[in-house]
Chains A and B, each alone.
Chain A
Amino acid sequence: MSGESSVELALPARPESLTIVRQALSGLAEAGRWNATFLTDAKIALSEACSNVVVHAYPEGTDGMLTVVMTVAEDQLVVLVRDHGVGIVPRINNRGAGLGLGLPLIAALTNEVRVRSADDGHTEVTMIFTVPSNGDPR
């Protein structure tokens, strides 16, 4: 891949959408020939951010949207996960779902993570990764 490339997804905030999002990331990895270890880390972080939207962003029983934008430029992958609901809540004190690791796990797997909540209610998690070169086993 040369220059900047991107994949933008808008899909329902439902559990089955996680498969779609992970497949999109796998497609980017295939096109960019990323190594498997990096892809695994990026998938875990992405899945965790999207799971937070599915589980926490919308009141139970209501439909909501999940937006994911993945941008690759040179050796950097930027993944933005956005909801349009009540916001992404870290799972630190929530024993209801998942591993309970939430944003700390994302922070551990990324070079940088930013969380931004807007006045209109939507929340964005931006994850920045350095994509290792093909020969880098990292």
Chain B
Amino acid sequence: MTKARQVEVHLTAGPIADAVLRRLVSAVAAQGDLPIDRIQDATLIMDSLLGAIATDRVSALLMPLERGIEIAIGPLPDGEGSRILSATELPEVGSVVHGLSDRVWIDTQRGPQEYLCVLVGKNGTDLAQNTRQ
């Protein structure tokens, strides 16, 4: 991953965020050379996260990787990342985000506030080594 290819987006929550971020995730994931099923997974993850965000504005960083995409929601207040993740849990199904992604983590190193980060790779492969170059 190169930060030079990062897309930063801030937008109004609700229908606009749903429509815009779904398209942006698809476009950035395509830059990351993901197959169509994994692009769809990344889109579902974004939908799930958006459904759990409780603020009027949404901020996100989208980064194409060599074989994947990293989605970072934030900056968020302390604890909000975990709350969002919990809110994406479905009865008897569990977490869509955990189930479809390669890695999920709370990043506190990007700045003064935390980011909820999700990595989606080509075939469920571990791309963690590519995410901090």
- Alpha-carbon distance between A9 and B15 when the two chains are bound, in angstroms: 17
* Interface size class of chain B, counting residues whose CB lies under 8 Å from the partner chain: 20 to 34
- In the complex, how many residues of chain A place their beta carbon closer than 8 angstroms to a beta carbon of chain B? 22
- Alpha-carbon distance between A12 and B5 when the two chains are bound, in angstroms: 6
Question: Do A12 and B8 form a contact, CB below 8 Å, given A19-B27, A31-B20?
Answer: no
Say yes or no: B8 contacts A10, CB within 8 Å: yes
B39 to chain A, nearest CB (A): 13
Q: Specify the main secondary structure of chain B where it touches its partner.
A: helix
B106 to chain A, nearest CB (A): 23
Q: With an 8 A cutoff between CB atoms, is B4 at the interface?
A: yes
Q: With an 8 A cutoff between CB atoms, is B107 at the interface?
A: no
Say yes or no: A27 contacts B23, CB within 8 Å: yes
Q: Give chain B interface residues in 31-90, CB to chain A under 8 Å.
A: 31
Q: Using a CB–CB distance below 8 Å, which chain A residues touch chain B?
A: 1, 5-12, 14, 16-17, 19-20, 23-24, 26-28, 30-31, 63
